[in-house]
Chains A and B, each alone.
Chain A
Amino acid sequence: MTAAATFFPLQNGETVLLPERLADLTGLGEFGVAGELLAAFIAAFIVANIMLAMTGVAGPWAKRKITASFTDRIAVNHLGPGGILIIVADSVRLLSKENIIPENADRPAYDLAPIVIAGSALLGFAVIPMGSGIHLADPEVGLAFVFAVAGIASIGLVMAGYASGNKYSMLGGLRAVAQNIAYEIPLVVTGMSVVLFAGSLQMGTIVEAQAEPLVTIAGVTIPSWFALVNPFAFVLFLIANFAEVGRNPFDMPEAPAELIAGYQTEYSSVYFVLVYLGEFLHIFLGGAIIATIFLGGPAGPGPAELGIVWFIIKIWGVFFLTQWLRSAIPRVRIDHLIEIGWKGLLVLAFANLFLTAAIVGVIA
């Protein structure tokens, strides 16, 4: 059981990252830098596949099932138990379709956009501590990094928007930029209030800071998750996050009833799959950030080995919330959206930051 002891580093208070441990376990570490690189690559491959598998479940199956239950329908149920094999059927269907590229497409940009959209989200998972020892890297600027790479997606949206040679795509791309600029700032500023509490941008430290007990009521210890310490910041962050990943009621860049499908109107086949995956990855990345900085990361009852399970449950919780809102809440109009962003959220975010700073200062 010594291996297990090293496998769950957070228990010991020391951070051993997945690539390092893989290097140790497989003996790749002996091959110097090249070996470590390979180990890192394998680790990244594992994490990326976990995430892609989750999007695979979410996109063709869970989304349909959740929407169906909100709308009193049955949804997919023919292939496999509960229709779960629709995932396979849909993959085959989507991948075997003809990839139609519009005549007026701006080629390199048109081809790159889906990769940028999907890739940027995957990059973000590198610094997320997922529990059970799955943590690729823990740089000191972890939180800044994750916001930065998530922000790259908007470049992908603009590329897709203008390179498609379609006016609806163009409008979608423009909306995406306007929206991302308006909501990125409140998002980051609200995130800053967490940093003030934790005293670090490092994801590992932020998670550890939340492990402290907040209060103990009748023998039940409630941890100091930042969502409980500062619910106001949590709600602000949730709203800004929905806008950032473009979910209802802020799904402006796509807005199916208005812009057909916005920036992704002209994408088909594999490119469409990438764009679609990218969208779900961004929801999950948003969920992962929320889980990490507000919900104690992989923390949860039971042994620490279950960390990844708790973490995934939290991510899915956020995903479920996006689907719930999708069924229940109308889309806001683009001008209202910008107004809410600049005049509402930004002000509230700064108010939250100053208040937090004051409180932290007083406690210190």
Chain B
Amino acid sequence: MIGLLKSMATTMKHALDGSTFTVEYPKTAPDVSPRFRGVHKFSQERCIWCRQCENVCPNDTIQIVMDDKRNGEQYNLHIGQCIYCRLCEEVCPVDAILLTQNFEFTGDTKQDLVYNKDQLRAVPWYKDIDPLESREPDRGAWIGEGEGDVDYQ
């Protein structure tokens, strides 16, 4: 009986203190961390069409089409199947890819969720932080060369 009363007292305490931990989304959106990985942003100006991002992507989210002179023609992102692993950003040698803090996007069909390079340009940019700075630490580790007798490219 004492246990039951303790349970009731505990819940009543929460009811009376009036505090809530949920927020009224979308009116008040929760803060996202500087490192948050949202929609992929692609910068055509920086891209050197090395296709490393296409290569590293675990599930073929990125599709690059080149012409016969190896100039980039298309850069398509099937955002619907993106798993936000950020490997493309890590692998990019010229910082042409960044995952923004935007996590709000919808589409009615799978087709709606395919972004081409022009649409990717319109993806909202970071709010007020420098993404490159917040991600700086890992670059060295990524670019580092291996040692030992393992065969690497």
Report which A residues bind B (CB closer than 8 A). Answer: 66, 68-74, 77, 324-325, 327-329
B11 touches A324 (CB 8 A): yes
CB distance from B75 to the nearest CB of A (A): 40
Q: List 15 A-B contacts (CB under 8 A).
A: A69-B14, A70-B11, A70-B12, A70-B14, A71-B14, A72-B14, A72-B20, A72-B22, A73-B22, A74-B20, A74-B24, A324-B12, A327-B11, A328-B10, A328-B12
Say whether chain A's binding surface is mostly helix, strand, loop, or mixed: helix
Q: Is the CB of B19 within 8 A of A72?
A: yes
Alpha-carbon separation in the docked complex, A66 to B14 (Å) = 11
Residue B7 interfacial (CB < 8 Å): yes
Interface residues of B in 1-35 (CB under 8 A from A): 4, 7-8, 10-12, 14-15, 18-22, 24
**Distance in Å from the Cβ of A77 to the closest Cβ of chain B?**
7
CB distance from B54 to the nearest CB of A (A): 44
B residues near A (Cβ < 8 Å) are: 4, 7-8, 10-12, 14-15, 18-22, 24
Q: Are A329 and B8 in contact (CB under 8 A)?
A: yes
- List, in ascending order, chain B residues with CB within 8 A of A70's CB: 11-12, 14-15
Are B24 and A328 within 8 A (Cβ)? no
Closest-CB distance, A202 to chain B (whole angstroms): 36
Q: Is the CB of A73 within 8 A of B20?
A: yes
Report the bound CA distance from A44 to B48 in whole Å. Answer: 82
C-alpha spacing A325/B11, complex, angstroms: 9
Residues of A within 8 A of B15 (CB): 66, 69-70
- The interface residues of chain B lying within 8 Å CB-to-CB of A71 are 14
CB distance from B135 to the nearest CB of A (A): 35
Q: How far is the CB of A190 from chain B (nearest CB, A)?
A: 19
Name the residue of chain A whose CB is nearest to the CB of B5. A328
